[in-house]
């Protein structure tokens, strides 16, 4: 361990402990994209459970979107290294979608849907993702200017389930950002891919590029205000409690999964002839 990895790990452990992200008798599925964030997330959750002797099950969960070895191989070696079982699933082929939604929006809907459904069916109590501090600061600013205030209620390390079929979502990396996650993986020799995670190289998808612009703006501010991101994420955590999610979850009339509409977004895309594929 170096001074950096030590500080990083302590910060993540503090987030896990303070918010009770990992507890006895939990069955936690860690959603793995192959990238640095989710790789570090799995490593930290496993190490926390081992060091604190927590009696819980931890599994890796990978939605194989394009069967790319550059993504799959680091995931395989990570779970082997940590001696963790990997649950891998293949979603319907998103490339066949002919509807009007941008491919990246379809991809996001598919991932969110499967990330709740499959782990729940396999007995999970919680799903962990690698969303980090920088992601939440950017989401926050975007949702603030877009006046989507109710979403802000989700910007915290733990989002409790509000429906029997909805898993509790945990974000162990809430207090560390992109740069830290990358450096941690490098220094700890945690396998991950640098391949850009938009699998479809969709021309219409400006999402990733825009996201990078946001990230660099945060780091630009940090040049003259060293604790900017730390202060911002701490304020976001406070403010998130002031917003209430107007959520009236029902069950989708086609698949039975939780949804705020009669038919969920996934079934509207894949469900029937009107859907698209
Ligand atoms: P992203 O929206 O791509 O930034 O991903 C956010 C988080 O979602 C990642 O840190 C992972 O925990 C999870 N995730 C993204 N893609 C996948 C995938 N293909 N399979 C499983 N989990 C994923
Ligand atoms: Zn549905």
Q: For 223-251, how does the pLDDT look when each residue is reduced to its tens digit (9 = 90+)?
A: 999 999 999 999 999 999 998 777 789 99
CA distance 270 to 91: 11
Greatest mean pLDDT among 87-96, 132-141, 197-206, 268-277 lies in 132-141
Domains in the chain, number: 1
What are the E-state strand segments in the chain? 27-31, 57-63, 85-89, 126-128, 158-159, 168-170, 250-251, 258-259
Q: Determine the average pLDDT of the residues in 130-142.
A: 96
Residue 20 located in a structural domain:
yes
Taking CA atoms only, the protein residue closest to ligand 1 atom 4 is: 131
DSSP 78-96: HHHHHT-EEEEE----GGG
Question: Of all protein residues, whose CA lies closest to atom 8 belonging to ligand 1?
Answer: 129
Residues lying with their CB under 5 A of ligand 2, a single-atom ion: 252, 254-255, 264, 267
| Average pLDDT of the residues of the chain | 91
Render pLDDT for 93-129 as a digit per residue (tens, 0 to 9).
887 888 888 888 888 999 999 999 999 999 999 999 9
pLDDT in tens, 180-205: 999 999 999 999 998 766 666 555 55
From the CA of 63, the nearest ligand is 1
The torsion angle over the Cα atoms of residues 13, 18, 19 and 23, rounded to 10 degrees, is 70
Is the pLDDT score of 276 beyond 50? Answer: no
Residue 272: pLDDT band by 50, 70, 90 thresholds? low
Give me the pLDDT at residue 57, please: 98
Domain coverage including residue 112: 3-246
Q: Give residue-wise pLDDT tens across range 2-31.
A: 999 999 999 999 999 999 999 999 999 999
pLDDT confidence of residue 275:
44
Atom of ligand 1 nearest to the CA of 71: 19
Whether 274 shows a pLDDT value over 50: the answer reads: no
Going by pLDDT thresholds of 50, 70 and 90, the confidence category of residue 271 is low
Closest by CA position to 240, among listed 157, 127, 176, 138: 157
pLDDT for res 205: 55
Q: Find tokens 């995931």 and name the residue.
A: 75
Which of these, 199, 158, 178, 137, lies nearest to 40 by C-alpha position? Answer: 178
Q: What is the pLDDT of residue 199?
A: 62
In a domain, 138, yes or no: yes
Which CATH number goes with the domain that contains 117? 3.40.50.620
Q: Is residue 101 part of a domain?
A: yes
Check if 15 has its Cβ closer than 6 Å to any atom of ligand 1: no
Query: Per-residue pLDDT for 59 more than 90?
Result: yes
Residue 274 lies inside a defined structural domain of this protein: no
Instruction: Please indicate, yes or no, if residue 227 is contained in any of the structural domains.
Output: yes
- What's the pLDDT score for residue 68? 84
Does 83 reside within a domain? yes
Nearest partner of 52 among 22, 84, 81, judged by Cα: 22
Question: 68-77, 142-151, 153-162, 264-273: which has the minimum mean pLDDT?
Answer: 264-273
> How many angstroms separate the alpha carbon of residue 256 from the centre of ligand 2?
6
Q: What percentage of the chain has pLDDT greater than the value 90?
A: 77
| Residue 259 belongs to a domain | no
| 268 inside domain | no
């Amino acid at each position: 361990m170096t001074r950096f990895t030590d500080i990083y790990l302590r910060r993540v452990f503090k987030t896990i402990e303070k918010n009770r992200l990992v507890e006895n008798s939990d069955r936690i599925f860690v959603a793995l994209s192959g990238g640095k964030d989710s790789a570090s997330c799995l490593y930290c959750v496993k190490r926390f459970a081992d060091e604190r002797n927590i009696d819980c099950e931890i599994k890796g969960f990978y939605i194989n979107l394009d069967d790319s070895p550059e993504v799959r191989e680091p995931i395989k070696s990570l779970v082997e290294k940590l001696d963790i079982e990997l649950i891998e699933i293949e979603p319907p082929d998103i490339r066949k979608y002919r509807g009007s939604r941008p491919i990246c929006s379809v991809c996001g809907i598919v991932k969110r849907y499967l990330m709740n459904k499959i782990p729940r069916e396999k007995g999970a109590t919680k799903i962990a993702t690698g969303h980090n501090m920088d992601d939440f600061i950017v989401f926050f600013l975007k949702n603030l200017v877009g006046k989507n205030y109710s979403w802000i209620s989700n910007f915290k390390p733990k989002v409790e389930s509000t429906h029997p079929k909805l898993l509790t979502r945990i974000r162990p990396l809430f207090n560390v950002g992109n740069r830290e996650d990358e450096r941690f993986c490098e220094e700890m020799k945690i396998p991950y891919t640098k391949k850009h995670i938009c699998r479809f190289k969709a021309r219409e998808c400006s999402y990733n590029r825009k996201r990078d612009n946001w990230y660099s703006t945060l780091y630009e501010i940090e040049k003259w205000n060293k604790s900017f991101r730390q202060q911002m994420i701490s304020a976001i955590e406070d403010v998130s409690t002031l917003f209430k999610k107007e959520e009236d979850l029902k069950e989708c009339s086609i698949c039975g999964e939780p949804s705020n509409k009669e038919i969920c977004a996934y079934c509207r895309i894949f469900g029937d002839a009107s859907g698209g594929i």
